[in-house]
Amino acid sequence: EISSLFSSQSNTKIQLFSDCCHIIRYMYIEPTVKMEEVDGEELVKKFAEEMEGMLGRKMKSVKRLAEAAEDADLYHEFNATLEFDYYNSMLINSVDKDGNAIELGGEFPLEENEHFNKLQVNTLQSDIQVPTNVYNKDPGILNGVYMSEALNDVFVDNFQKDPTLTWQYFGSAAGFFRLYPGIAWTPDENGVVTFDCRNRNWYIQAATSPKDIIIVVDVSGSMKGLRLTIAKHTINTILDTLGENDFVNVIAYSDYVQYVEPCFKGTLVQADLDNREHFKLLVEELQVKGEGKVKKAMKESFKILNEGSLCNQAIMLITDGAMEDYEEVFQEFNWPERRVRVFTYLIGREVTFADTVKWIACNNKGYYTHVSTLADVQENVMEYLHVLSRPMVINHDHDIIWTEAYMDSAAQSLLLMTSVAMPVFSKKKETLSHGILLGVVGTDVPLRELMRLAPRYKLGVHGYAFLNTNNGYILAHPALRPLYKEGKKLKPKPNYNSVDLAEVEWEDTDETLRTAMVKGETGTLSLDVRATVEKGRRVMFLKNDYFYTTINETPFSLGMVLTRGHGEYIFIGNVSVKEGLNDLMQPDVSIANEWTYCETDIDPHHRKLTQLQAVFRYLTGKEPDLECDEKLLRQTLFDAVVTAPMEAYWTALMLNPSGMDEGVETAFLGTRSGLMRVSRYVGIEKRVAKKFLSPSDKENIFTMDHFPVWYRRAAEYPAGKFLYYIPKEDTRGRDYFLSAPPHTVVIVFFPVCDCLPVWD
């Protein structure tokens, strides 16, 4: 058939497509193929089980760290005169003018590691980060660092048991941060390190259970000037210690009670990022006037909290003094149970009212602090976390927590992560009744690695999987784009981790899907959706079937989408390994390097292998220990064989100029297994679309997040119709794509003059 095509001397671009369609004929090997219906309910449960297993291994690692830290502290005696040199991540490998290692520096070997985002790391040892505002040789720091040296062996052992682990760490209540693997910490442009592990969500959530907080701030006339500035900073710092599992409101008082947000009057709102930032903007607008009357504000606060939950409840009173007879308020609303703790922050240098403000805190199971300068705010605010953690410490409630999605700024990367963390308590008999929190241990889980457990080839061209939290926020979703470009730098968007499921699955107008997933239910749902491609410039009308279930032992739910038509069935074929490898290793063939054909991240020796190299070494028996997806490999080999005639055809056209019109730059095709065949007819210097199909051209290659845009659009076109497509990038109005019928997905790229119309 190929020879007859060549003899026809076809010389039109449309004929080229027809020729390609004739070549790719699955009927030739029809006896070896079959269609399988995809069982969405079983598939989503299988994905959830695999994710549960992966996350379970992370939890076991964290438990081992917590046990080791508590045992190390149990046998450590505090030494006020301890002298101990440790590896400070800011000072390692630094020398003085004479070439000698500086104090707390020393030689700390670092080497680039693929597994850790190509950062320079030391996988044999951890090192210590200390914030600029914490003295790095304070006795509390030195004793904590010395005690926690015992974690080094556990870090390494955990990593050997589970090579998919990333960063492991111990955040101390004293302020230091032990990180494995060790890295050189980079200060900001001002040469300071503002990172404080105690401010991180994983630390705060693990140290305290969910809480209801009312922040009450004095805005009477005596709070003018610096006092109001300190008060506002204190409010913002308290808000920064809250997360989406907490609830909050802010009340200002002088002669009367004023909610900073009138819409939230008489209630608590979720302390998600949007609400916290909203409160901060309103707090900034507060003005002082009148006389401070705290009694009404305290009554209002207790009324709200008495209608709240049974979790930790607290009132944060920020004032420069209290002169009223406020005792009867506590007698009416809080005594004798003292269920609501009251924390007081005395603002300013004057201490005239220190005794009365301290009395309020001490008689309501709270904590009193004196905040005289802006520099005092951070440390003083953090004290309330230790008080709220005491019941957990005394009861030894080792609750494991999972955080919402966040950018891994500590590790200097822009990967979306979730963290699993656990509190570390003192087990010494003499301190058991005091409830001393030593710190928090944790590890990060890149969400990208978690989503690899729901491979795209099983979901079809428009299918995808997604994760959300029990608060309804997206953890991972193809439509979640958390970064934006500022100049040449990528930066996180504001509120990138508080995107609600209803904002991306917006056809779920009744929130049936969202409600079920928030409740952790298992079920199915069908929706007519309008899916966009080309960054929202094109719309496709699809019928989607949603399947969802909970991931046990976590606050997460997994959702999965299969599209009617392409998502309902999967095409299975068998060919011999020898035949398949021969066609797979041809120079015009590539596979999706972001997909997991073989797991290269378990053994460090495999981390530099591309997916194609790993597949070859596994199938030839050179690396039999590689863990590979047998079903995907079988499908890939099959696709390599049935599309192999294209290579000869395209080569023959290249050698026979009369067989093709001028202007064709590239011929290519893609298959569901992520396989691509690409034939270049002109060199890079003559190409108009130089970026097209390159690794940086994410829109037009197979990625973790999507099938190529031309593949998705062509798949929805009627058989026998051609798609004319103009990509926005690198076109300048000249470049077009054409695609053949969806069952072949053969596409040719070529430039045309500006005068031709756009066909769609």
Average pLDDT, the chain: 85
Mention every residue, 6+ apart, whose C-beta is less than 8 A from residue 335. Answer: none
Domain range annotation of the chain: 1-38+631-716, 52-195+409-447, 207-375, 454-567
For residue 187, pLDDT beyond 70: yes
For residue 240, pLDDT beyond 50: yes
Which helix (H) or strand (E) element contains residue 380?
A: helix 377-395
Q: What is the pLDDT of residue 29?
A: 55
Query: Per-residue confidence at 660, pLDDT binned at 50, 70, 90?
Result: low
For residue 310, pLDDT beyond 70: no
For residue 134, pLDDT beyond 80: yes
Token pair recorded at residue 334: 């809080």
Token pair recorded at residue 346: 């005395």
Hey, what amino acid is at 729?
Answer: E
Per residue in 426-435, pLDDT (tens digit) is: 988 876 666 7
Q: What is the pLDDT of residue 218?
A: 96
What is the rounded distance in angstroms from the CA atom of residue 58 to the CA atom of residue 554?
12
Cα–Cα–Cα angle for 603, 590, 18, nearest 5°?
155
Q: How far is CA 40 from the centre of its chain?
A: 25
Evaluate whether the domain defined by 207-375 bears CATH number 3.40.190.10: no
Predicted TM-score (pTM) of the model is 0.84
The mean per-residue pLDDT over the stretch 361-370 comes to 94
For residue 342, pLDDT beyond 50: yes
State which CATH number among 2.40.50.140, 3.30.450.20, 3.30.70.1430, 3.40.109.10 fits the domain covering 454-567.
Answer: 3.30.450.20
Per residue in 524-552, pLDDT (tens digit) is: 999 999 988 877 778 889 999 999 999 99
For residue 6, pLDDT beyond 60: no
What is the rounded distance in angstroms from the CA atom of residue 442 to the CA atom of residue 401?
9
Per residue in 447-466, pLDDT (tens digit) is: 999 999 999 999 999 999 99
What is the rounded distance in angstroms from the CA atom of residue 629 to the CA atom of residue 633?
6
Return the closest-CA partner of residue 150 out of 125, 123, 184, 121. Answer: 125
What is the rounded distance in angstroms from the CA atom of residue 534 to the CA atom of residue 725?
10
* Alpha-carbon distance values, 64 to 157, 389, 424, 441 (Å): 10, 21, 11, 10
